[in-house]
Amino acid sequence: MRSTLMVYGHRGSAGTHPENTLVSFKAAEKAGVHGIELDVQLTKDGVPVVIHDEKVDRTTNGVGWVKDYQYEELCKFDAGGTYSKRFQGEPIPSLDDVLAWIKPTSLRLNIELKTNYLPYPGIENKIIALLHHHQLTDRTVLSSFNHYSIQRINQQEDSIETAILLSDKLVHPWEYMKRTGAKSIHIEYHALDEYLMEHTTKLQIPVRVYTINSIDQMSKVESMGCEAMFTDYPSVAIHRND
Ligand code: G3P
């Protein structure tokens, strides 16, 4: 039976390549994913860059906050060597770089706005402008744990899908999400249940689940009728039913 569950490479192919780098996104594409997921923060001079943490320490050879570096300074850090020597010299990409790469592919895109810890004023407008510039509004979903970010996007833009990110069970999220204008739910695996799926299926609200790395969990989310899953192992996910 052909699966309808879509596969998004989480931070590219984070289980096999340095997360949120171009080499990781390219590996996910090569594995045959339907889409990729990435995280965006802002530099001191307001450039949207693709990195998960507010600080560069965990994933690069640098130290300190993304917000305290000019983009040109941030470009000097190595975002590949801490993962493996094989990827030494891989830079932190700008969002502009990644969008330029993704444009000629057929990949879908999920951009997570990392505004749940630092507010990054203006980040929503910058991302919207870049998506229009690269004509990627129709295959992108914007998500955030900061639902005010989602609300801000929907107050000014109706051509880009948005999703609320949930790490825990909410009471009737399909009602709550109306206040934000979001059209879909991105949810942590352990917060997913049949009750949520029953209601969201009836209401035609897409549910996408993170981060699914075992075959058992892949089969479970597939049988529950989720639209997509985010995985660190795109190749495993794509070939799970071979
Ligand atoms: O967007 C789904 C998932 O990526 C959220 O988790 O850890 O990447 O912020 P995280």
Q: What is the CATH number of the domain that holds 108?
A: 3.20.20.190
- Is 235:31 a contact under the CB 8 Å cutoff? yes
- Which two three-digit tokens encode residue 88? 């030494």
The per-residue DSSP string of 74-90 comes to: HTTS-SSTTT-GGGTTP
Residue 209 CA to ligand 1 center (angstroms) comes to 9
Ligand 1 neighbourhood includes 143 CB (under 6 angstroms): yes
Alpha-carbon gap, residue 237 to 77, rounded angstroms? 31
Helix, strand, or coil here: 116? coil
In a domain, 183, yes or no: yes
Among 36, 208, 210, name the best residue to mutate to test ligand 1's pocket (greatest count of ligand atoms within 8 A of Cβ): 210
Alpha-carbon gap, residue 112 to 124, rounded angstroms? 11
Among 40, 112, 118, name the best residue to mutate to test ligand 1's pocket (greatest count of ligand atoms within 8 A of Cβ): 112
In a domain, 1, yes or no: no
Closest C-alpha residue for ligand 1 atom 1: 112
Alpha-carbon gap, residue 72 to 158, rounded angstroms? 33
Q: Which residues are catalytic?
A: 10, 52
Residue 112 CA to ligand 1 center (angstroms) comes to 7
In a domain, 85, yes or no: yes
In a domain, 79, yes or no: yes
Among 144, 165, 221, 232, name the best residue to mutate to test ligand 1's pocket (greatest count of ligand atoms within 8 A of Cβ): 165
Ligand 1 neighbourhood includes 19 CB (under 6 angstroms): no
Model-wide pTM > 0.85: yes
CB burial string 10-43: b at 16+ within 10 A, e below: bbbbbbbbbbbbbbbbbbbbebebbbbbbbbbbb
Residue 87 CA to ligand 1 center (angstroms) comes to 23
In a domain, 60, yes or no: yes
Helix axes 123-133, 95-102, angle to 10 degrees: 30
Counting as low any pLDDT under 70, the low residues of the chain are 1-2
Closest C-alpha residue for ligand 1 atom 2: 210
**Within 13 Å, how many C-alpha atoms sit on residue 145's CB side?**
14
Name the domain count of the chain.
1
- Residue 2 confidence (pLDDT): 54
Ligand 1 neighbourhood includes 208 CB (under 6 angstroms): no
Alpha-carbon gap, residue 116 to 120, rounded angstroms? 9
Alpha-carbon gap, residue 151 to 177, rounded angstroms? 9
Q: Which domain holds residue 195?
A: 6-238
